[in-house]
Amino acid sequence: KNQVEQSPQSLIILEGKNCTLQCNYTVSPFSNLRWYKQDTGRGPVSLTIMTFSENTKSNGRYTATLDADTKQSSLHITASQLSDSASYICVVTVNNAGNMLTFGGGTRLMVKP
């Protein structure tokens, strides 16, 4: 069964600090991996996308990495801001499956002043 596991489930950090969120997946065949940010009371919004051949992708202070051999991804947030408080969801697309996504349970990040 295709699965996406994220850790930690929740995280509290101080403003200005860095953090790294983890994602392990067993989805096969793999097409791509996205990280979504979901603010409280809102729908998820895509931050980054990586295909099989990409190792890293940045979007401002967000940097995602992908190791397709070990089926692991991470999202690193640099110099965190209060507005980074949200849930971060790892989403893997199954290849040749018509837009089907497998979602992780998310990491809830709280940035405190």
Instruction: State the residues that interact with other proteins by CB under 8 A.
Output: 4, 31-32, 34, 41-46, 49, 89, 93, 98-106
Minimum gap (Å) between residue 91 Cβ and other proteins:
8
Residue placing its CB nearer to other proteins in the complex, 65 or 93: 93
Residue placing its CB nearer to other proteins in the complex, 72 or 78: 72
Residue placing its CB nearer to other proteins in the complex, 45 or 82: 45
Minimum gap (Å) between residue 89 Cβ and other proteins:
7
Minimum gap (Å) between residue 66 Cβ and other proteins:
16
Q: Are strands 107-112 and 10-14 parallel, antiparallel or unpaired?
A: parallel
| DSSP string for 41-76 | TS--EEEEEEETT--EEEETTEEEEEETTTTEEEEE
Provide the β-strand partners of residue 14. Answer: 112
Q: What are phi and psi of 90, to 5 degrees?
A: -90, 130
